[in-house]
Structure 1
Amino acid sequence: MRTLFLQAPSFEGFDGGAGSRYQARREIQSFWYPTWLAQPAALVENSKLIDAPPHRTGLAEVVAQAKDFDLVVLHTSTPSFDSDVKVVEALKAANPALKAGLIGAKVAVQSDESLKDAPVIDFVARNEFDFTIKDVADGRDWSSIQGLSYRNREGVIVHNEERPVMHDMDSLPFVTPVYKRDLVMEKYFIGYLKHPYISFYTGRGCKSRCTFCLWPQTVGGHRYRTRSVGHVIEEVKYVLKAFPQMKELFFDDDTFTDDLPRAEAIAKELGKLGVMWSCNAKANVPRDTLKVLKDNGLRLLLVGYESGNQQILHNIKKGMRVEVAERFTKDCHELGIAIHGTFILGLPGETKETIAETIKFATRINPHTIQVSLAAPYPGTFLYKQALENGWLDARNAELINDNGIQIAPLHYEHLSHTEIFNSVEEFYRKFYFRIPKIASIVGEMVTQPDMMKRRLREGVEFFRFLKERRGASQAA
């Protein structure tokens, strides 16, 4: 079947892509590669991938291409579901014969609800959907396809048996040739990565059991299933030839450092190639490993600290002690490894006092940059189950974003309101960034690195504009 893979048009600046962990507009313009769409696209011959938001591709432009395809597959999410369904309606109005399916964590765990809520959708692919979509595109009878939920000719919803979890990760083709074919790499920005960058996965799954984390609980699982070192390096070599303008390579695995010997082995091969790279890491990597990674091209680690309060870390099953995270961060500073630290406000056990404690923790350990998110109870996560059972989540906040695509504070507690949690994000940013040492550090970076001057100024304008719009949203609520 002629197949279109689509990240649909949405809010201006909305990073809802098949690779983004929180689907929302960011403080500064950010776009992740649509890796979860590119993977099945790499399996389907003569397919096409349209990633509308970063390319500013409007609905009319997408609809105009609808007649060229037999099948459209959209990545969707809890925040973008209603908008994505409207896009499918428009595509089918232009091409009534078009079959439409959805992939993503939302439909992986709410397959029945999603099909009932959206009669225009023909099928959804649950869990690990790569080969499920290939089977559909290859024209196999839907009743024989594992992992597929669909509407049959009588309009009855059918759920086929589960598809076994993949273990031979080298059986998946590279995603980066799809990037080269269909995407413009310069359209992808992440504030803490050098531009332009490339990102892809070297494995799926995460050993950690964090109650809020989306991908391991819905698609990836808690076993870290990895590609071989040689397979990863072959894709890196392809990237170096296909994207000579790349400034940085990012490994988007949930926790690249879950397998330390493998991480070191990949790093040593990257060192031979002279690649500058970054990855996701847990704040417990030993100093000896950090040094190996740094000596072989590692520039930055993206680290989920989440909170500076030990009880909250226990509540979310983070499996991390505050003093271990502090020692790890000190090691990174001494070795010259930059850190982008991520924090979450509004997790179970949060109070005004724990918010203040986390802000003090962040300023004390002083990552190079930070991102502050609001606790988001996505369906399929343990946090979502907790929130429903304890009455922390209201139905009116279940979509996790407001009408402008900005992340809201969906959870509330007896002692802490939505508004108090929402407003604490701006307080966090101001107390972290509006310190003389941090301002001096940013100015020094801009002066010593001319290419950063224009970028940081643009990001500053975007940041303050975002905070202003965010305050307006709070007042309207």
Structure 2
Amino acid sequence: MGQLDVLLVNPPSRLEIYQSLSNEFAAIEPPVWAGLIAEFMRRKGYSVGMLDAEAAGLTHEQAARQIAEQSPRLAVFTVYGLQPSASTQCMPGGAKTARALADLEPDLPTLVLGTHASALPKRTLLEEPFTFVCQGEGPYTVQGLVDVLKDGSRDFEKVPGLWYQDADGVARATKPAQNIKNLDEELPTQAWDLLDMSKYRAHNWHSFHDLSSRNRYASVQTSLGCPYKCEFCCINAPFGRNGIRYWEPETILKQIDHLVETYGVTNIKFPDEMFVLNKRHVLGICDGLIERDYKVNIWAYARIDTVQDQFMEKLKRAGINWLVLGIESASQYVRDGVAKGAFTEDDIFDIVRRIQSHGIHIMGNYIFGLPDDTLASMRTTLDMAKNLHTEWANFYSAMAYPGSPLYAEAVRRGWPLPDHPGGPGWIGYSQHAFDTMPLPTDTLSGTEVLAFRDRAFDEYFSDPDYQALVRKTFGQEPVDQIQRMLAHKLKRRHHQAPSAAAE
């Protein structure tokens, strides 16, 4: 057997990002983009391997040793996060693994790709321990780079979407790679057989109906990109523009067939930034799932202004039991400031109640510390979250993620960012890390925002009315797990003595 052409690497990051919450509560996600690129390369005749160091529970050093032992022509670090905009928080884990690999095999070429690398390609090349950086979605760049490494020409300027250093150490960029036009032909599925599917685990809330089923889990992308322009989102950084591309419903259904029939998967995530949007796409997938009657349990993202009555009955019958809504703030003024839709508070309550009336559970996403937030507006958002009474909620602190319009604004205005001198670095963009460092607002420091967020989390999930809702809907076992979750107090460098409370 000859040398492996390319090894797709998902570096370990979960423990640093989630602290003690990583052990029982956080999901362990299949590396979707790595799996898509692996299958893309394999169908073109290249020899391909995958190392999911995250799922295997490897340290950075153990992961580096396994990469070195396989000695591929190219090790591709796919750095994405569990949350759509969270590639940046995973950069430290990728860098630690690449640095350990360089100590073992200094001549083994490495390429990093992902949202963060596409947002800051030159800086990533010059500051991080990778040989090459991909600016763009990746498949054509990986293919072109492997070809150049195989022929020994070092003709890197031929590789689209590549950043590299020339012989004098000067950063060079090649022409952009085209985005893939026909997803069904070139990226029809993930390379599931290169993964140990027993290692993956659904979010705890996703499996509240049956917590013992969490390891029967997979994540299936049904579209790429997003047509919206929320100021805090960087999801389109690898694609170079706002927009959305779809796989055909039949392509998605074939992949679900394989997952259910081969691996016994019952819990599925659609990680698309916006699943509930295009009528033909949504209903095509739903109709196929209804016909199959797999009894799968799926969650997907939606917006207050995209969930239509015509979707709801079929979403539920298809097994889409959870919708995640980006509510963000109770204040329309705050939402307008970050271009988050034109819906009103009445619209929010109306759509939540209509979704729940169809038996679909809701996870509400909220962001504290958006630029126009005050302590009073954040309190109003928390009160609205408690009144909406959804089956789960995520509370985030506002972050100016690289690649988002908010990051450009923060840099322009000189706002303190984690990657500024003296800051904690990229791990500061994690929502749950020790070094989390949110944005300040005009009236609040980042420390005050973070303190409010953590107190809000405890207040929401310890609320007896919320726990009674979970008990009535799912039984006592999920309530017991929530209480164990509340016992894990995140350690935070930046609010040893919090000055803002959630009262």
Calculate the TM-score normalised by the size of structure 2: 0.84
The residue type paired with residue 443 of structure 2 is H
The residue type paired with residue 217 of structure 2 is Y
Partner of 1:49: 50
Q: Is the counterpart of residue 74 in structure 1 residue 74 in structure 2?
A: no
Q: Is the 8 A contact 2:424 2:435 kept in 1?
A: no
What's the offset of the Cα at 1:402?
A: 8.1
The residue type paired with residue 278 of structure 1 is W
Partner of 2:303: 282
Partner of 1:193: 206
In structure 1, runs of 5+ residues without a counterpart are: 17-23
What's the offset of the Cα at 1:459?
A: 4.8
Partner of 2:117: 107
Structure 1 CA distance for aligned equivalents of residues 441 and 433 of structure 2? 24
Structure 2 CA distance for aligned equivalents of residues 316 and 402 of structure 1? 18
Partner of 2:83: none
Q: 1:33 aligns with which of 30, 33, 53?
A: 30
Partner of 1:474: 495
Counterparts in 2 of 1:388 and 1:153: CA distance versus 1, 3 Å: closer
Structure 1 CA distance for aligned equivalents of residues 240 and 285 of structure 2? 21
Counterparts in 2 of 1:113 and 1:26: CA distance versus 1, 3 Å: farther
Q: Is the counterpart of residue 300 in structure 1 residue 322 in structure 2?
A: yes
Q: 1:146 aligns with which of 160, 168, 171?
A: 160
Structure 2 CA distance for aligned equivalents of residues 15 and 436 of structure 1? 25
CA displacement, residues 173-192 of structure 1 (integer Å, 9 cap, x when unaligned): 3444x233223344323122
CA displacement, residues 395-418 of structure 1 (integer Å, 9 cap, x when unaligned): 226535289934624211331112
Partner of 2:10: 7
Q: 1:312 aligns with which of 307, 325, 334?
A: 334
Calculate the TM-score normalised by the size of structure 1: 0.89
Q: Is the 8 A contact 2:368 2:397 kept in 1?
A: yes
What's the offset of the Cα at 1:83?
A: 4.2
Q: 1:433 aligns with which of 457, 461, 465?
A: 461
Q: Is the 8 A contact 1:102 1:125 kept in 2?
A: yes
- In the TM superposition, what are the counterparts of 1:24-423 in structure 2 within 5 Å? 28-45=25-42, 46-65=47-66, 66-69=68-71, 70-76=73-79, 77-118=87-128, 120-139=129-148, 141-176=155-190, 178-194=191-207, 195=214, 196-219=216-239, 221-244=241-264, 246-275=265-294, 276=296, 277-284=298-305, 285-322=307-344, 323-394=346-417, 395=420, 396=423, 399=426, 401=428, 405-406=433-434, 408-423=436-451
What's the offset of the Cα at 1:369?
A: 0.3
Q: Is the 8 A contact 2:161 2:176 kept in 1?
A: yes
Counterparts in 2 of 1:13 and 1:458: CA distance versus 1, 3 Å: farther
The residue type paired with residue 182 of structure 2 is D
Structure 1 CA distance for aligned equivalents of residues 230 and 404 of structure 2? 9
Counterparts in 2 of 1:185 and 1:179: CA distance versus 1, 3 Å: farther
Structure 2 CA distance for aligned equivalents of residues 157 and 205 of structure 1? 28
Counterparts in 2 of 1:10 and 1:431: CA distance versus 1, 3 Å: closer
Q: Is the 8 A contact 2:461 2:467 kept in 1?
A: yes
Structure 2 CA distance for aligned equivalents of residues 197 and 266 of structure 1? 18
CA displacement, residues 297-346 of structure 1 (integer Å, 9 cap, x when unaligned): 22111111111110111111011413222211110111111011111111
Q: Is the 8 A contact 2:28 2:202 kept in 1?
A: yes
CA displacement, residues 136-163 of structure 1 (integer Å, 9 cap, x when unaligned): 2234642211111112344332200011
Bigger drift between 109-118 and 354-363 goes to: 109-118
Q: Number of matched residues?
A: 460
Bigger drift between 165-174 and 295-304 goes to: 165-174
The residue type paired with residue 360 of structure 1 is D
What's the offset of the Cα at 1:105?
A: 1.4
Q: Is the 8 A contact 2:435 2:494 kept in 1?
A: no
Structure 1 CA distance for aligned equivalents of residues 281 and 91 of structure 2? 37
Q: Is the 8 A contact 2:55 2:200 kept in 1?
A: yes
Structure 1 CA distance for aligned equivalents of residues 23 and 34 of structure 2? 21
What's the offset of the Cα at 1:67?
A: 3.4
What's the offset of the Cα at 1:135?
A: 2.1
Counterparts in 2 of 1:90 and 1:168: CA distance versus 1, 3 Å: same
The residue type paired with residue 305 of structure 1 is I
What's the offset of the Cα at 1:56?
A: 0.8
